[in-house]
Structure 1
Amino acid sequence: MKYLLVVPPLTGHVAPLRAVAAELVGRGHDVAWCGPEPTTSELTRAGRVYAAGDALEFAVERRPEGLRGFAALKYLWEQYLVPLADAMVPGVEKAVEAFRPDVVLADQQAFAGALVASRRSLPWVTSASTSTELGDPLGAMPKIAAWVDGLQEGLRSRHKVSCGDLRFSPDLILAFTTVSLTGPIADVGAVRFVGPALAPAPPVGFSWDRLDGRPLVIATLGTANAALGRRFLSECVDALAGMPDVQGLVVDPAGELLSDDVLIVKRIPQAEVVRKAAAVICHGGHNTVSETLASGLPLVIAPIRDDQSMLAQQVEAAGAGLRLRFDRAKAPDIRDTVTEVLTDPAYAAAAARVRASFAAAGGVVAAADHLESLPH
């Protein structure tokens, strides 16, 4: 079988599909990627990538800071998702023409994959790298839901496609999470919960001998929040410096923070270091949350944008962590919250339950099984 993976130029959306692609290739299938360049090639590290749009036009760093609530949602749809789809469609068309896939596997934010597959009557599968949309977050806001529907209808009309919601394949939606984290989903439909698909990260040097044996608490805001996160990371340094019973590790990509009491590095081999930790402070990026819970560790989450607020809510509801205000949290708030998740065993127990659900869901093996069983 030939699978075309259509993705946006976003690390967290490409990462789970890297692992799925490797599994498919290992089973003898032919896999190609399609997305805005050069970022898609950089993120996939794959041999065959078809260009679909200019990644520089859709870099996360270009997003205005401080957007919250409906303003953030409005920007996401009007200035990012819809223009991204329009920009990607010609490249996806060329990729389908050249590669001749049997199935298009499209990230939930890469609508171009659904548009082109529907127009060519190809089977298409949704990759839901995050659970944001699965619980129908706009169900209680019918006017906003209607506005989103209108934007989608505009896309379908422009590209001469007659199909349903571009976020949801009618045949298969791979959800890289589990109900233990999301909570019950009202309309499961074509959703298959496979748990996280954690692909190996590029090698990163790390001085393991700098870990001193105390319980390790990691603070990281991912790779796309360096400038925006400086204040919060600085507060994390102060908070962890005031906790002599733990060792603090703060990931500062900008290399601007200094401390005699906290280990500060620009990058870490995150999955490996997380496995050595006792708790993680983060922004609620799906990959970081998944890696942490896959290790059975509690979280402290300070969401910044997009789906991160919902993930923080899910983690709290599951009992596996606590939430902070990214723009307001001070060192004492962070210190108290970290202390609570470390000292109350209920948080670690809840994280362990989520970890067990991840293991039972099957991960990349289950995802590949579902793809192979899709009628063609």
Structure 2
Amino acid sequence: MKILLHSHFPAGHAYPMQAVAQELVRRGHDVVWLTSADNEARVRMTGAAFVATEAIAVVDAPLMAENETGLLDGVHSRLVSRVIAQVSDYRRVLRDFAADALLVDVLPHGARALYELGEIPVYATLGVIPMYMSSWGAPQAVSGKAPSSSTLSLIWNHLRHLFRQWVLFPLFLQPVINNQRRALGLANLPYGEPMESFTYSPFLHIQASSPSLEFRQRPKPTQQRRHTYHVGPLVTSVITTPNQLPAWWGDAVNHPKVVGITQGTLAMDPTSLIVPAIQALADNPELLLVVASPHSDEIRARVGDLPNVRFVKWIPYHLFLPQLSLLITNGGYGSITQALSHKVPLICAGQTEDKKDTAARVNWAGAGIDLKTDNPSTNQIRNAAEKILADDGYKESAARLGDELNKLGGQGRASELLEQLVRAGHARSTF
């Protein structure tokens, strides 16, 4: 089959799509991946054909300059020309590539428009950030909260969902999208659509996590609820040779208590988390700290050479994570799900974008501690680390989540679901 992929520009969005692309190519499918120019190498290594965004790149340029994703800030004006730009770039690819399906990771408004115009057979969505739903107990987006156990709080939460659905979206979000839909010759969106209708495909949504990490909530609309599947982490297969590993790698393999410290792909100022984490734990001789950061030279210059700290600019997570007793991170969704798939408990310290919601999920599941700040103190980190390392409950919860995540099939299952979607579409078209 022929599959067109489109991923948002940040590396954290490219990595899971990369795993899906690699698996689709391995299965013999013809894959074209549309994404930003700086993701070209990631595309090429999968065997997919790379196409750089053009119209979308113009829309994304201000976000890239501000080091933001533009997904959860509520600034609907960022969508003023995005739908038209998406349709323009998709059409440019589709002129020479008759895709059987389009898979997008976020902001599927252009995919929906193109489907309604009859220019693609079907589209699917890939969830690489926390899943945001409007069902009764689902927390508000970017709240950093878990479902409440209070009846009064649940009622208030439900009313807030209804207010967004029937007042805020029709007043502020729908007009921005509808203006572009009318320019494309489409009707306005139906009044009062819930959040999920703006975010997830009604035909297939693939969520790169597990039900337990999404509070065991389900989408509100029947179509999305019926066609949402959790597949666990999406991880690209990488061949690693011994010369790619640091000279001290044996220390990490043989040490009984290794603590990993890392800080994601967008918010990368090492003084916010990495430096205080080193300062908090470096004086504990029972621990070996492994700091994975492209800023490792700068960090080493700041903290000095410490006997129980090792630095590396890059290390394959499939080798790194199994060595850890604890991971300290600012809480990117992909890093969290991968760590839990290796049964590693977590300390999360991130409040930007979706990170506070990811941390809330880890905390709710009992697999780690949410510090609820971007800039934790050394005491906060030390106390949280001591608590997790002394309490087997965190490790046991992480192990349960790991077992759940690892049973869901990853990119293999994601590819199967896409194949089923295309087959179902071909079957419908024969009648």
Q: Same fold (TM over 0.5)?
A: yes
Unaligned runs of 5+ in 2: 142-157, 191-196, 220-224, 426-431
Query: Could you say what secondary structure the match of 1:230 adopts?
Result: coil
Q: More displaced, 38-47 or 271-280?
A: 38-47
Unaligned runs of 5+ in 1: none
1:64 offset after TM fit, Å?
6.5
Task: Give the structure 2 partner of residue 341 of structure 1.
Answer: 388
From the superposition, tell whether residues 13 and 328 of structure 1 become closer, same or farther in structure 2 (CA, over 3 Å). Answer: closer
Q: In the alignment, is residue 196 of structure 1 matched against residue 238 of structure 2?
A: no
Task: Give the structure 1 partner of residue 276 of structure 2.
Answer: 235
Separation in structure 1 between the aligned mates of residue 298 and residue 82 of structure 2, nearest angstrom: 33
Task: Give the structure 2 partner of residue 224 of structure 1.
Answer: 266
Alignment partner of 2:213 out of 166, 181, 193: 181
Query: Could you say what secondary structure the match of 2:3 adopts?
Result: strand
Task: Give the structure 2 partner of residue 16 of structure 1.
Answer: 16
Task: Give the structure 2 partner of residue 78 of structure 1.
Answer: 77
1:47 offset after TM fit, Å?
4.5
Alignment partner of 1:358 out of 405, 421, 425: 405
Separation in structure 1 between the aligned mates of residue 320 and residue 379 of structure 2, nearest angstrom: 25
Q: In the alignment, is residue 153 of structure 1 matched against residue 178 of structure 2?
A: yes
Aligned sequence identity (%):
24
Q: How does the TM-score come out when normalised to structure 2?
A: 0.78
1:156 offset after TM fit, Å?
2.9
Separation in structure 2 between the aligned mates of residue 217 and residue 84 of structure 1, nearest angstrom: 42
1:170 offset after TM fit, Å?
1.3
Contact 2:127 / 2:208 at 8 angstroms: preserved in 1? yes
Q: How does the TM-score come out when normalised to structure 1?
A: 0.88
Task: Give the structure 1 partner of residue 204 of structure 2.
Answer: 172
1:133 offset after TM fit, Å?
2.2
1:210 offset after TM fit, Å?
4.3
Task: Give the structure 2 partner of residue 49 of structure 1.
Answer: 50
1:72 offset after TM fit, Å?
6.1
Contact 1:52 / 1:89 at 8 angstroms: preserved in 2? no
Alignment partner of 1:63 out of 63, 66, 70: 66
Superposed CA RMSD in Å reads 2.7
Q: More displaced, 205-214 or 97-106?
A: 205-214
- What is the CA deviation profile of residues 303-344 of structure 1, one whole-angstrom value per residue up to 9, with x for unaligned ones? 132211111111111111111133341111101111111111
Separation in structure 1 between the aligned mates of residue 67 and residue 4 of structure 2, nearest angstrom: 32
1:273 offset after TM fit, Å?
0.7
After TM superposition, the structure 1 = structure 2 runs for residues 1-376 of structure 1, keeping only pairs within 5 Å, are 1-36=1-36, 38-45=37-44, 46-53=47-54, 55=57, 58=60, 61-63=64-66, 73-75=73-75, 77-79=76-78, 83-109=81-107, 111-119=109-117, 120-134=119-133, 137=140, 140-141=160-161, 142-143=163-164, 144-146=168-170, 147-162=172-187, 165-187=197-219, 188-201=225-238, 205-207=245-247, 208-211=249-252, 213-227=255-269, 229-254=270-295, 255-258=297-300, 259-261=304-306, 262-374=309-421, 375-376=424-425
Separation in structure 2 between the aligned mates of residue 215 and residue 16 of structure 1, nearest angstrom: 29
- What is the CA deviation profile of residues 197-241 of structure 1, one whole-angstrom value per residue up to 9, with x for unaligned ones? 1113585543313436141111111232223x4232211110121
Larger radius of gyration: 2
Contact 1:61 / 1:224 at 8 angstroms: preserved in 2? no
1:113 offset after TM fit, Å?
3.2
Q: More displaced, 272-281 or 231-240?
A: 231-240
Contact 2:31 / 2:48 at 8 angstroms: preserved in 1? no
What number of residue pairs does the alignment pair up?
A: 369
For 1:291, give the aligned amino acid.
Q
Separation in structure 2 between the aligned mates of residue 171 and residue 4 of structure 1, nearest angstrom: 16
Separation in structure 2 between the aligned mates of residue 268 and residue 61 of structure 1, nearest angstrom: 25
Q: More displaced, 317-326 or 164-173?
A: 164-173
From the superposition, tell whether residues 117 and 33 of structure 1 become closer, same or farther in structure 2 (CA, over 3 Å). Answer: farther
Separation in structure 1 between the aligned mates of residue 267 and residue 58 of structure 2, nearest angstrom: 17
